[in-house]
Amino acid sequence: MLAVVQSPGCLIGDKAYDANHVRADLAAPGSIAIISPIPTRRTSVSFDADTYKARNIIERAFNRLKDWRATATRYDKTAATF
């Protein structure tokens, strides 16, 4: 059986993923890396700032899910949560 893997159109990452090998790995299947360059980078790399700004929507969603982790996993075993 042959599995077909499609590459995403773009990958939005934070400055921690700004490395040449990460960018090369994403460019190989045809994805675009939208990663803000770190200030100490020697070579200038352009990125789409408008798309990068949308990253906060996803991060806020994950933070909201983390707020409800105790209820979802029932760590708080009181009568009110059951």
pLDDT digits (tens, 9 = 90+) for 45-69: 888 888 888 888 888 888 888 877 7
Is the CB of residue 34 less than 8 Å from the CB of residue 52?
yes
Residues 7/11/15/19 CA torsion (nearest 10 deg): 20
Q: Return d(Cα 36, Cα 15) in angstroms, integer.
A: 5
Question: Residue 11 in contact with residue 34, Cβ under 8 Å?
Answer: yes
Both tokens of 47, joined, read: 């990125």
> What is the average pLDDT score of the chain?
78
Q: Which band of pLDDT confidence, cut at 50, 70 and 90, is reported for residue 7?
A: low
